[in-house]
Amino acid sequence: MQLLSTALTALALTAASVQAAVNGFSVSANNADGSCKSSSDWGYEMSTIKSWGFDTLRLYASSDCNTLANAVPAAQAAGVKLMAGVWATDATHFDTEKQALLGALQQYGSDWLVGVSVGSEDLYRGDVSASQLAHQIYDVRGMVQGPGGASSTPVGHTDTWTAWVDGSNAEVVTASDFLLVDGYPYWQGSDISSARDTFFQSYDATVNAAQGKPVMIGETGWPTGGDNHESAVAGVSELQSYWKSVGCELKSRGIDYYWFSDVDCSYCAAGVEQNFGVAYNLGSLKIDLSLLLLDEGSTSEIPVAIDIAFDSFLLVYALLYASTPQ
């Protein structure tokens, strides 16, 4: 009985650890029609993503559309955590963003905050130099962990995998507590059948350039409408396939991720950019969001946490059995 109890405890702990990774969506401060989200808009969005099984949102800004002023109280009420964003371009905007973040920390504390990303794809666009961005990361970290009172909150940056593996940007890696990497096999022209491999090649390349820092997914997704891109076809079935293949491996490897995005964006540029949501709107999902692991050579699907935990159970049980006097 003690043997079985020990093995079952190991199974439960393993399942819990698989499910412990941060999983959520990267979202803007605007509604689908382009209007700024109010506190009630944020609250509805957060309660919806929680009903889908997600508990974290990554934001791009702190001051734009009063992002944090409206989102933080809604997050605290809903039990949702936030990865805050601070735009790094334009010195005046950067300072306004910093002050909005500091104000939110001083007013609401830091229990809602899982981290801060200074900038998003700035290196990819060439908007700032690596040296300047590194300085801004140090600046924000000092503010957040000093007068902001969030002494253990990590601060990093979000960029494309191609920017992270570029050795000329190593100064930003050094300055960051973590790396958020954006990877889109669709934009790499990948056929859906090879999209998973394309994505994780990009992720693993970023890990190799990360100087041992944690690497999380800042954005990934697949469009359901708009033009095809080389061998990449936009469509709902393709999104479902991508969600299950990439999402399952992110889950099984315990990789923190923010999917792009939760809902479609009618105010975005016409075509593909309007169609990256896993839902048409908060009331209408496009796909099945359960993360299932399809056993190779089998037609049965097993939830990721249970599948991995059961393997661990068998291993622990075998080891304990082998060490028990017969």
Residue 76 vs residues 112, 227, 229, 254: alpha-carbon distances, Å: 6, 39, 40, 25
SS3 114: strand
The DSSP annotation for 209-229 comes to TTTT--EEEEE----SSS--B
How far apart are alpha carbons 172 and 119 in whole angstroms? Answer: 11
CB-CB contact of 29 with 37 (8 Å): yes
**Hey, how many other C-beta atoms are within 10 angstroms of the C-beta on 88?**
25
Instruction: Report CA 68 to chain centroid distance, whole Å.
Output: 18
SS3 190: coil
Catalytic annotation, pick one of 45, 97, 219, 238: 219
**Hey, how many other C-beta atoms are within 10 angstroms of the C-beta on 152?**
7
Catalytic annotation, pick one of 121, 171, 249, 273: 121
The total number of residues shown for the chain amounts to 326
219 counts as catalytic: yes
SS3 323: helix
Reported as type and span, the H/E element at residue 182 is strand 179-182
How far apart are alpha carbons 59 and 71 in whole angstroms? Answer: 9
Q: Which residues are catalytic?
A: 121, 219
